[in-house]
Amino acid sequence: MTAALFSEVAPFARAGSKVAPGAWDRLAGRRFYSTCSWLTFCDNEPGALSGAATCYSEGKLVAAVPVAELISPSMPLYRWNDLLSSQGLPALPSRGLLVGPRQGYQTHLLALEEELPGTLVAKLVEEIRRVHALFGEAHERACVAMYVTTRDAVALRRAGVSALPVLLGADAWLQVPPGGWPAWLESMTSKNRLKKVKKEVRRFRQAGYEINHMFLSQCYEKLAVAAASTQSKYGNSGNPDDYLPALRRYVERMGAVAKVAVCSQQGGTPVGFCIYFIWGDTIFLRWCGFDHRRLISGAAEYFNLLYYGQIKLAEELGVRWIHAGIKSTEAKARRGAQLRPLWLVDLVEDSILAQVPDRVRQHNERGYRRLAEDSQTAEALVDLDSWQIFL
């Protein structure tokens, strides 16, 4: 076993085999949160032994998924029992193997082929369970994949996973059409929403704001006040010094990959920031913060910085997607985001969730109905079959 998979590129694989970064990233493709650079970043955070389940064919890596044996409690939205109990579903063992990256809210089964053959998924499940067994008795520990796409949740079920996937929430994506910002405005089907967007852009400009894009290394020391201000709204520390180490870690471990959009007035002290990564045809939004004491009423700093400014950047770069993540679902939907479901899948053979399929289906249906029957989000649901398949 190793505690440093992606810094040493050595997974929990048979015979101690190693994976070259290039071979891994070929599997990851456009999925940034499964790349070596991001997994290395996660790997340097304490609290877990990181590794991967891997499958080979004729000596060639053909499928894989990152995993982490959790030593201490994970980040709040990765604490599976908190999420399950809040919906009245049975608790799993509190410790165990997390299948997927430890941060980013995106888990993918990685393979060279776009459509994963069922036999390959079955082999990958077997490898995941083998890694799970390395750390102790299976019945005493969980083996949970979180924030899984519908495609992969279906593939896991077809490979023999007994538990019905549990809906975790909606993943928001903004598509940038050819023609960029003007074309995106024209694509809005609601005149009221279009009017609202134009008003927010106008108010932002009238307030004298500007957005500058730069490497995070150029300005991270200036962002701690905004980071602390936003975190204090959620009951966390409001001391800027507490956030400098986290900002510095992005600089030290992500290097030039870490970019930031900075909102200020005439180049003054930042009022807000959004850290993001560009990978393939997508901008991945990661961390935003605002100095709320200095915001101007009605200037829509949040939406201009995170959405409208990023759409304009995407136009410049020829990028076609913006990944906006799992929070503020209604606000994202009102501004043209597409919503896709993400799932929790318990991979142990005798999962307690497999014993209560009706309760899981009821939970999934409630979550889907909340979005489907809300006029703010209904039009944003992409591919209804992917939402309804586990109802």
Whole-angstrom distance, CA of residue 12 vs CA of residue 75: 23
| Cα of 176 vs its chain's centroid, Å | 19
pLDDT for residue 12? 52
Whole-angstrom distance, CA of residue 290 vs CA of residue 274: 9
Q: Name which of 187, 224, 216, 212 is nearest 264 in CA terms.
A: 212
Whole-angstrom distance, CA of residue 366 vs CA of residue 51: 35
Q: Which residues pair with 288 in a beta bridge?
A: 274
Question: pTM (2 decimals)?
Answer: 0.94
Whole-angstrom distance, CA of residue 144 vs CA of residue 389: 20
Q: Name which of 212, 215, 306 is nearest 263 in CA terms.
A: 212
DSSP summary character for residue 347? -
pLDDT for residue 11? 52
Mean pLDDT by 10 residues, the chain (391 residues): 40 56 90 93 87 88 92 91 96 95 96 87 95 85 97 97 97 95 89 91 96 97 97 91 96 96 93 97 97 95 96 94 94 92 97 97 98 94 97 97
Distances (CA, A) of 255 to 56, 137, 259, 277, 359: 31, 40, 9, 11, 45
Contact at 8 Å (CB) between 27 and 111? yes
Tokens standing for residue 258: 């870490």
115-123: long-range pairs with CB below 8 Å, 24+: 116/63, 116/152, 116/155, 118/155, 118/158, 118/159, 120/55, 120/62, 120/63, 121/63, 121/155, 121/156, 121/158, 121/159, 122/159, 122/160, 123/55, 123/63
Say how many CA atoms lie within 13 Å of 26 toward its Cβ: 11
Say how many CA atoms lie within 13 Å of 288 toward its Cβ: 21
- Within 10 A of 357 (CB to CB), how many other CB atoms are there? 13
Instruction: Give the contacts of 22 (CB within 8 A, at least 6 positions apart).
Output: none
Whole-angstrom distance, CA of residue 307 vs CA of residue 224: 22
Contact at 8 Å (CB) between 97 and 135? yes
Name the one residue in this structure whose structure tokens are 């089907």: 189
Q: Name which of 154, 8, 126 is nearest 65 in CA terms.
A: 126
DSSP summary character for residue 217? G
